[in-house]
Chain A
């Protein structure tokens, strides 16, 4: 599962341009699912037929990144982005477009900066991607307006139990969902790999309509703010503290039955877990739980530091235990228990 995660994290799949990730997942999923299909938005579905309730496990394929607006006369590329702090992109490598043209985001050298310059935060509109093009016409030979650009960061293990990569949010969820497909559970099981989560839970909305699940489990990479000077009640989650179970976030309140069932699945399987403390942020559960006439939805997250940056960091054991927790939940038939309790 870890090797797969490495491959997934190294793929580029900015929101709206998830094709590479989709192709990779499709290849693997088709060996385990009865049917694999893609909808018009690009959501990928891997369906394992079964008796019992309709269950969805959802993870999003997209990552934050940039889109090319056009080129300037000097050949630098103008980009747009959403959800990225401009302070993290200066001096980073990116790859651009379907041909993955390498580029860098530079800025005025420190020698040339005034005291005022040093204090000022550069905004995205003052930053550009340099692919080495001579001028505008040259740049447009390699890149078209509307091409996407992703951070060029490689997955790596740090120390014994940590890893760094881009797109850990949410390729970890994708890897876990793929692993769950290998098992057989007492339900009609669909793993949904969604698009455009980072643009506002867009893919999940259509996906919920297409599958019409009764129970959904969303697998996410969530904020870990366990840093010095942060008070305990503002950590949200802690890296290394085990998979996080949500009771509430900015988009969803998890039904008590679901929250309790996830906790007892962890306890019964002796997996140490944490309760996600913050209530901010959102994920695909927000779109899925209230789609159609409603769906019982829970969330398991892997704590991740430095989300939405070129380098995020997570714990390998948290990741593996998130899989074990999801597996324990379904293997012990908790999907049936929560439905009976809620309805």
Chain B
């Protein structure tokens, strides 16, 4: 079973790439009672260590940052100009409520001359602005500074077995990792890493992997889907279970790692599906190539409408992911090359 208030707290916390302090605090409050030691490294990765006896180290990693908008200019009328933090679609980013870390609220819109919704293919992030209700530069600067970041300010929506919110990529996996740490049975050293700056190019997890030097890594991240009207073909379905990563645009998982996860799923009767994601990269890649190389795989939760304010996931996939993660670390025999 899952704890919905925990999921909601983690999913709705503020934390664009490079500014993950708030979400770090939220996650830290949940994991501290569950592990032996919690540390934060120079980049801001939150590393929760649960001691084991086998002498083997397993790194479980989920990134906690979300995409956002960063303020690059404030004009004399108080409008904020922005750049994207991570993969923001300019069209998806318009006409949205947003919020800043200090609670300042605003809305986004496009320049309407020569651009905007009439011609989405021509719209660029430089045409987007945020209106925070200020009348002048001075009034705006009292609330927001250059370099401050905004995220979508959206509600946590429950739709039966499914939930929708911004930042399900990848907070749903952060929640799953916290959930899995509860009553986790394992003889191995567990390093649960909540990594930073994945959305701007998997910049955080590599530093954590370098410091830990794990024998096995399991990355939790979201994957895409192939089950909405007229979408790109893909074998992954929402509600189809934990998606076991075989390949994404950044990494090919070693066969002994994904077959290990599949065998565990089969033995424990956990719903799973194979995940070949043709676009998008994940932290799995940088961990795999850390130091002398690491056997690194991934369990993905399918999320529809990724990088929009209405990302949608199925809680059955969430439960399957938690179950698979718990069962996998319980094994004495870990995959080996």
Residues of A within 8 A of B (CB): 214, 232-234, 247-248, 253-256, 259, 275, 277-280, 289-296, 342-343
Contact = CB atoms under 8 A, between A and B. Distances in A.
B86 to A, nearest CB: 10
A290 B70 contact: no
Contacts of B204: 290, 294
Q: Would you call the interface of chain A mostly helix, strand, loop, or mixed?
A: loop
Interface stretch (B38-46, B214-222, B273-281, B325-333): B38-46
Contacts of B248: none
Contacts of A293: 41-42, 207-208, 210-211
Nearest to A215: B42
Given A233-B72, A248-B18, A289-B43, A275 B126 contact: no
Given A290-B203, A292-B207, A248 B40 contact: no
Given A259-B147, A277-B73, 6 more contacts: A279-B70, A289-B203, A294-B42, A295-B42, A296-B42, A343-B40
7 shortest interchain CB distances as A-B pairs: A253-B18, A247-B147, A233-B73, A233-B81, A294-B207, A294-B42, A293-B211
Interface string B71-92: 0110100000101110000000
Give the interface size bracket for B toward A: 20 to 34
Contacts of B147: 247-248, 259, 275
Nearest to A234: B126
Interface of B: 17-19, 21, 40-45, 70, 72-73, 75, 81, 83-85, 126, 146-147, 197, 200, 203-204, 206-208, 210-211
Contacts of B85: 248, 253, 279
B42 A343 contact: yes
Contact of B72 (A279, A296, A343): A279
Given A259-B147, A292-B207, A293-B207, A233 B75 contact: yes
A214 B207 CA distance: 13
Contacts of B146: 247, 275, 277
Contact of A279 (B42, B83, B197, B211): B83
Contacts of A233: 72-73, 75, 81, 126
Contacts of B83: 248, 278-280
A295 B203 CA distance: 12
6 contacts: A253-B203, A256-B19, A256-B21, A277-B72, A279-B83, A289-B203
A343 to B, nearest CB: 6
